[in-house]
Amino acid sequence: MNLALGIDTGGTYTDAALMDHDTGRLLAGAKALTTRHDLSIGIAGAIEAVFASAASIQAGLAPTDVVLVALSTTLATNTLAEGQTGSVSLILIGYDIELMNQYGFHKELSTRDVVYVRGGHDLLGNEVAPLDETAARAAILARRDTTEAFAVSGYFGVRNPAHENRVRALIQELTDRPVTCGHELTSRLNAVRRATTVALNAHLILPLRELIASVQTTLASHDIAAPLMVVKGDGSLMRADWAMRRPIETILSGPAASVVGAWHLAPLGERGEHNGRGPSTQSRSSVWVVDVGGTTTDIGALRDGWPVLNPDGARVAGWRTMVEAIDVHTTGLGGDSHVRLDTDRALQIGPRRVVPLCLLASQHPEIVAVLRRHAEAPLEGGSEEGIEFLVPGRHPGSQLSEQDAEVLRRLESGPKSIAALTHESRIGGLYRRSIAYLETQGLVRRAGFTPTDALHALGRFDRWDAGAARLAASVLAAQAEMPVEAFCKRVVEGVSDRVATELVSKVLEDEGVAPVWDQEPVARRFLAQAFDGAGSSDLGCQLTLRRPLVAIGAPVAAYMPGVAERLHTGLIIPDHAEVANAVGAVSGGIIQRVRVLINPLDGAEDRLRVHLPDGIQDFDELEGAVAYANQRMTPYVAELARQAGAEQIETRATREDHWAPVLRGRTATLYLGSELVYSAVGRPSPARRD
């Protein structure tokens, strides 16, 4: 049997899915904890687990049968969000340095090493000034031993890439560093955002190369020799070597895989669970997809069977890019969200991620005695710090202060409660400051009570140490003056409330309204009344979500029925919902798109200019220009798809002409230009077996 292996590396879990490549049938799924310090460890664990699961179902399946591997990853998003960027040199051709400084645009460029070189083009692709090759050469030579990657963006480079291509050729001639040009990543106008996008791409090249090399080594160690594909932010696939040149396109790779996986797993009326609410006759082609993970909850949409993309480009860590990616609403809410009580004993869930106590206790049983001691005297046991622990994170890459180093030394023998660390020291306040710093640097991780612990305490989840979860729950329940079971149910209901609120926020955002619930007490009151059902008020209201929900992720059976009930809509929880991301990773196709513009030339009657990826060409009439573009671009976009790893390629072109009336009420019109979009779609090319 030809097998396809999907892998998703999330913030908490690494998922693997094994599928019949020829039929698309899911054979087995498995999960392993993500090992952030070395992702290959978690990936290896997931691979071994999925083959063990498959062997229990069908004998004879072996790693050597795998003909295709696809990976979805949060590496790009996390790298930028955590500020883990290397040294990048950005060469701007024809940009006005005074204008950039005057309006503060340089702050948006994501690197401090910016070189301005004379040259550039205008809106029609005409050269404004010759390229200053001498200055470009000098800048490249000065940086070839210190920069990790080069990025090049020319003013109106998408209308004529000649100067970008020449500078790239110089970089390749003079250095061995990777280089990306702005016109390779987008064909849309916006000089500053294009420069930001190409610089971010350069930042990600080395981290993604390291990840892919690690994954390939892991696959080889398991006798898997199949080609490796990577999920793009729009849910399609590209070859690993292609991804290493254009890693910016993997932004939102994980959420995109989740939406594709939901589409694959959840046909209405065939598989999965439907709660009977809402219109049951709707097709799976138009649904809301909610992915509840350990760290975040992602909300996206399928419309007519396709993931909805963000037309303005993906946003990540405050950067606005020009990358076409899924339109996803992400909130810091998941199974590992930190549950605590504020000073008014109000329940707080997230956004900080912590290690669930049930998981920590399964790895370090000695903490159970600490939890029991606090559970036996919950109100005398002090604050929640008594049931919160620290464990070592990544290894420090630089010198630490003596106090910070002492905290790490005290963790060498195992987890320590924060109360023990601070109360045993005469400088407890300073210790808290060190702990906060070490947490922000990822050098320590906090363990605390989470929704996952609440589910264990209620007996609805049994992956780890349920006894430890109940002990911790009893401490918080005593502080909240509630029975333990009621407190844990309140936590679960709180997650359902938050997910439902985020869904309402997403719908309103798509309609042009961005609610800020904390600043809108009347709207918040209506929302609470709608979620509370009958409630205690004379005023009753309800909300209805008109499209059904598809819920994926390990804990969705606990949280999502409550969400669907609050929003009076249908709910589908498909089989294998817990590994839908990995299914989506290996279920996508390969899509390449190229946009070509045709514009009339100023001052030249009946003269048109075609803007191609490799230059410009002028024509006397429109149909001749379109025919030339079709002749050049159809094989061009098909070749891009082949380079991205596709076979069985189909191409298509769409055309939109723009006209405007010369005078109001007259029939005469003025030609403004045309937009041609060329697409190539194909299946990932698998390994060939004898």
**pLDDT given for residue 252 in this prediction:** 87
Q: Which stretches of 574-634 are assigned E, i.e. beta strand?
A: 590-600, 608-612, 615-619
Q: Would the pLDDT of 126 be above 80?
A: yes
Where residue 45 falls among pLDDT bands split at 50, 70, 90? Answer: very high
CA distance 149 to 621: 43
Q: Could you tell me the pTM of the whole model? A: 0.80
The verdict on domain 88-208 having CATH code 3.40.50 is yes
Helix, strand or coil for residue 384? helix
Residue 117 host element (H or E): strand 114-117
Compute the average pLDDT of residues 459-484.
Answer: 93
Specify burial of residue 273 (Cβ count, 10 A radius: 0-12, 13-18, 19+): middle
Do 195 and 131 touch, CB atoms closer than 8 A?
A: no
Compute the average pLDDT of residues 524-552.
Answer: 84
**pLDDT given for residue 82 in this prediction:** 59
Do 554 and 543 touch, CB atoms closer than 8 A?
A: no
The DSSP bridge pattern shows strands 549-552 and 571-572 to be parallel
**pLDDT given for residue 428 in this prediction:** 53
Q: Would the pLDDT of 427 be above 60?
A: no
**pLDDT given for residue 379 in this prediction:** 59
CA distance 483 to 489: 10
Q: What is the pLDDT of residues 82-103, one digit of tens each?
A: 565 568 899 999 999 999 988 8
Q: Lowest-pLDDT range, 10-14, 339-343, 613-617, 665-669? A: 665-669
Same fold, 3-81+224-265 and 88-208: no
CA distance 250 to 244: 10
**pLDDT given for residue 686 in this prediction:** 87
CA distance 368 to 468: 6
Where residue 290 falls among pLDDT bands split at 50, 70, 90? Answer: very high
Compute the average pLDDT of residues 522-538.
Answer: 80
Helix, strand or coil for residue 533? coil
CA distance 547 to 531: 18
Compute the average pLDDT of residues 439-455.
Answer: 90
Q: Would the pLDDT of 279 be above 60?
A: no
Q: What is the pLDDT of residues 141-166, one digit of tens each?
A: 999 988 989 999 999 999 999 999 99
Do 33 and 554 touch, CB atoms closer than 8 A?
A: no
CA distance 2 to 686: 9
Q: Would the pLDDT of 275 be above 70?
A: no
Percent of the chain's residues with pLDDT above 70? 91
Domain 3-81+224-265: which CATH number of 2.70.98.10, 3.40.50.12280, 3.30.420.40, 2.40.10.410:
3.30.420.40
The CA angle 253-257-262, to the nearest 5 degrees, is: 155
Domain-by-domain residue ranges, the chain?
A: 3-81+224-265, 88-208, 337-489, 589-684
For CA atoms 193, 194, 199, 204, the dihedral sign is positive
CA distances from 49 to 42, 155, 227, 362 (A): 10, 51, 21, 19
Q: What is the pLDDT of residues 66-87, one digit of tens each?
A: 999 999 987 777 677 656 556 8
Q: Would the pLDDT of 646 be above 80?
A: yes
Q: What is the pLDDT of residues 211-270, one digit of tens each?
A: 888 899 999 999 999 999 999 988 899 999 888 888 888 888 988 999 989 988 876 433
Mean pLDDT across the chain, nearest whole number? Answer: 87
**pLDDT given for residue 386 in this prediction:** 86
SS3 string, 211-267, reads: HHHHHHHHHHHCCCCCCEEEECCCCCEEEHHHHHHCHHHHCCHHHHHHHHHHHHHCC
Top-confidence residue, 424 or 340: 340
Compute the average pLDDT of residues 370-377.
Answer: 89
Phi, psi of 470 (to 5 degrees): -65, -35
The DSSP bridge pattern shows strands 646-661 and 315-316 to be unpaired
- DSSP track, 312-351: T--EETTEE-----B--EEES-STTEEEEE-TT--EEEEE
